[in-house]
Amino acid sequence: MIRFGPAGNETSFYDQGYKNTFEAMEWLNNMGLNAYEYQCGRGVNIKEESAKKIGEYADRFGIAMSLHAPYFINMATTEVDKIESSLIHMRNSYTAAKQMKASRVCVHPGSFKGDTRENAIIRAHHFLKNFLDDINDESVIFCPEVMGKINQLGNLEEIIYLCAHDERILPTVDFGHLNARTHGSLRTAEDYEQVVLKMIDGIGMERTRIMHMHFSQIEYTEGGEKKHLTFEDTQYGPFFKDFIPVLYKYDLKPVVICESDDRMATDSLKSKTMYEQYRNRD
């Protein structure tokens, strides 16, 4: 099953009188959505009790949980204290994910500052491999993300490299980021198909089919990502409608998380509606 859901809670959720994330599970279910990415970008600060409650409600309302790990993680760093702090953030993400029954943790690969991209991605792979060996629990999948700025580690090829070298790792293909870092290369269904074919070539059909995805429209400049927009934008894209034929053609069953600017659930529902309308066209 393809799943759609938001990254965190938009203002309209709180405007309707809700206060807690566990309440979002029923709210999303009522909207017809079935995934949710819990945001720990600024650190894993959630208490065990709250995380477990989210997990319980997610189960009850059929929401597939994922967790976004802290932005401070740098899997490619050579600095000992940063390796250690990155490992602590990874470990905390894993623990919170277990508590809220999240089966996926989305994580940024980090930076290649002071080194080549090639060396940095090899280090990132070793970092991730050692971490996964250490936790020894395949019920939580780590999903390194395609990043939006050119000078960040994590172009499409680098993410495929990480996943191709370890069966336990799935990609987070962020199409907004990919489009931003390639200055608008995703324009037609064929452009999306090229991405999917690259992934099939790198990690195989089965794992491509169940990839983790972020989809939002993003403004970009020369350096890549500038800012997250909503589906109201008609200038930058990428536009989800262009991806839909490819989702059907390859029978893809991803988790599609929407990171629109304060319209995460609203636009996620738009994606789902577009997807279903395509199936029921003619």
Q: SS3 for 116-139, per residue? A: CHHHHHHHHHHHHHHHHHHHCCCC
CB-wise, 57 or 109, nearer to Zn ion? 109
Beta carbons of 34 and 28 less than 8 angstroms apart = yes
Shortest Cβ distance from residue 7 to Zn ion (Å)?
8
For residue 200, the surrounding DSSP H or E stretch is helix 189-203
Closest by CA to 223, choosing from 260, 252, 181, is: 181
CB-wise, 144 or 202, nearer to Zn ion? 144
CB-wise, 47 or 227, nearer to Zn ion? 227
CB-wise, 29 or 103, nearer to Zn ion? 103
Residue of this chain nearest to Zn ion (CB atom): 145
d(Cα 144, Cα 162) in Å, to the nearest integer? 8
Count of residues binding Zn ion (CB under 5 A)? 1
Which residues, 6 or more positions from 117, have their beta carbon under 8 angstroms from its beta carbon?
A: 153, 155, 158
CB-wise, 44 or 57, nearer to Zn ion? 44
DSSP letter, residue 182:
T
Shortest Cβ distance from residue 214 to Zn ion (Å)?
7
Shortest Cβ distance from residue 281 to Zn ion (Å)?
32
Site residues (CB under 5 A) for Zn ion, limited to 132-161: 145
Shortest Cβ distance from residue 257 to Zn ion (Å)?
9
Site residues (CB under 5 A) for Zn ion, limited to 20-79: none
Shortest Cβ distance from residue 259 to Zn ion (Å)?
8
Shortest Cβ distance from residue 126 to Zn ion (Å)?
22
Any idea which residue has 């988790």 for tokens? 255
SS3 66: strand
CB-wise, 121 or 218, nearer to Zn ion? 218
Q: Could you count the other beta carbons within 10 Å of the beta carbon of residue 47?
A: 10
CB-wise, 64 or 69, nearer to Zn ion? 69
Any idea which residue has 């709250």 for tokens? 50
Cross-strand pairs, 5: 257
Shortest Cβ distance from residue 62 to Zn ion (Å)?
24
Closest by CA to 158, choosing from 194, 189, 112, is: 112
What tokens were used for 158? 């680098």
Residues that bind Zn ion (CB under 5 A): 145
